């Protein structure tokens, strides 16, 4: 019998964990039903540790904007172990919106995520964007992500400095455009795409591009782009193409794929 419980990480619980010198919240084996409007909200200096078999399942909602795990304006946080997050795209109660995220990271620093398996989200598996306090994420490392059957993107990178995505498996993104494995797409001219490295184990069968770089809103930016893609040969079988760079007017910087410069101005 599948266990379904509501996981609540209160401020008091997190403070007690830190007071006891633990700095961690353990998610035991089980299936936990999460209200993605309220989210699991990480606090600074906390590790969220998943044991094998621990899953967060999004409750069906009508809102087109939510996140199962929310990392907002914090620092020194980790998601460790074997985290599984399942979105609610097949149970969704509405028809509009495209911002239902598995993990939502905004305005945060020193973030580490390992072995996350995120599927069936109404929007993106992982989103990295700006907050009103800080218009970039800094020092984020995402290791061994498996992102499958998410509706809009596997990963959206809106603003990040010092971002590493290692051994990414991103497949079957479909449902609403751009439908790409990874989409680098700032929303504002003052946002950042700097010192980013992507290692692709398998980015395939996404309805859009394998990796899309759309810089249209960076026209006139003073923040040069720097993206390095490694193992680009493992980006394949995507409907529109493997790697696409668009909207480069007024943008400076460099993009390399397996040591070859593909954008430099």
pLDDT in tens, 141-195: 999 999 999 999 999 999 999 999 999 999 999 999 999 999 999 999 999 999 9
Residues 105 and 140: beta-carbon distance below 8 Å: yes
- 240 pLDDT band (50/70/90 cuts)? confident
Q: Which CATH architecture best describes the domain 4-264? A: 3 Solenoid (2.160)
The per-residue pLDDT for range 33-91, each reduced to its tens digit, is 999 999 999 999 999 999 999 999 999 999 999 999 999 999 999 999 999 999 999 99
pLDDT at 194: 98
* Domain boundaries along the sequence of the chain: 4-264
Q: Is the pLDDT of residue 256 over 80?
A: yes
**d(Cα 17, Cα 13) in Å, to the nearest integer?**
6
What average pLDDT does the segment 206-221 reach?
Answer: 97
**Could you tell me which residues come within 8 angstroms of residue 225 by beta carbon, excluding any fewer than 6 positions away?**
193, 194, 213, 215, 218, 251, 252, 253, 254, 255, 263
**Could you tell me which residues come within 8 angstroms of residue 204 by beta carbon, excluding any fewer than 6 positions away?**
170, 171, 181, 210, 235, 236, 237, 238
**d(Cα 51, Cα 25) in Å, to the nearest integer?**
11
Higher local confidence (pLDDT), 226 or 15: 226
Residues 209 and 177: beta-carbon distance below 8 Å: no
**d(Cα 205, Cα 37) in Å, to the nearest integer?**
30
Q: In sequence order, which ranges of the chain are alpha helices (DSSP H)?
A: 11-19
Identify the CA nearest to 7 among candidates 45, 48, 43, 46: 48
**d(Cα 52, Cα 125) in Å, to the nearest integer?**
20
**d(Cα 157, Cα 170) in Å, to the nearest integer?**
14
* % of the chain surpassing 90 pLDDT: 88
**d(Cα 75, Cα 61) in Å, to the nearest integer?**
29
SS3 6: coil
């Amino acid at each position: 019998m599948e266990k379904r419980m509501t996981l609540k990480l209160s401020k008091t619980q997190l403070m007690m964990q830190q007071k006891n010198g633990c700095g961690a919240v353990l998610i035991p084996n089980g299936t936990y039903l999460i209200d993605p409007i309220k989210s699991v909200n990480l606090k600074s200096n906390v590790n969220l540790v998943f044991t094998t078999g621990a899953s967060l399942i999004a409750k069906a909602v009508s809102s087109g904007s939510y996140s199962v795990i929310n990392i907002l304006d914090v620092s020194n946080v980790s998601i460790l172990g074997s985290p599984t997050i399942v979105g609610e795209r097949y149970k969704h109660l509405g028809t509009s919106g495209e911002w239902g995220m598995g993990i939502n990271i905004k305005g945060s620093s020193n973030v580490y995520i390992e072995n996350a398996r995120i599927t069936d989200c109404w929007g993106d598996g992982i989103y990295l964007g700006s907050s009103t306090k800080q218009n970039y994420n800094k020092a984020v490392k995402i290791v061994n992500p498996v992102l499958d059957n998410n509706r809009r993107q596997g990963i959206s990178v809106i603003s990040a400095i010092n971002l590493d995505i290692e051994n990414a498996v991103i497949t079957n993104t479909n449902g609403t455009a751009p439908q790409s494995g990874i989409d680098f797409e700032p929303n504002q001219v003052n946002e950042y795409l700097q010192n980013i490295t992507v290692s692709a184990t398998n980015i395939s069968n996404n309805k859009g591009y394998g990796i899309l770089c759309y810089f249209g809103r960076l026209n006139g930016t003073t923040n040069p782009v720097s993206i390095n893609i490694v193992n680009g040969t493992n980006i394949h079988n995507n409907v529109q193409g493997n790697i696409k760079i668009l909207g480069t007017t007024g943008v400076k910087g460099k993009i390399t794929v397996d040591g070859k410069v593909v954008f430099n101005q």
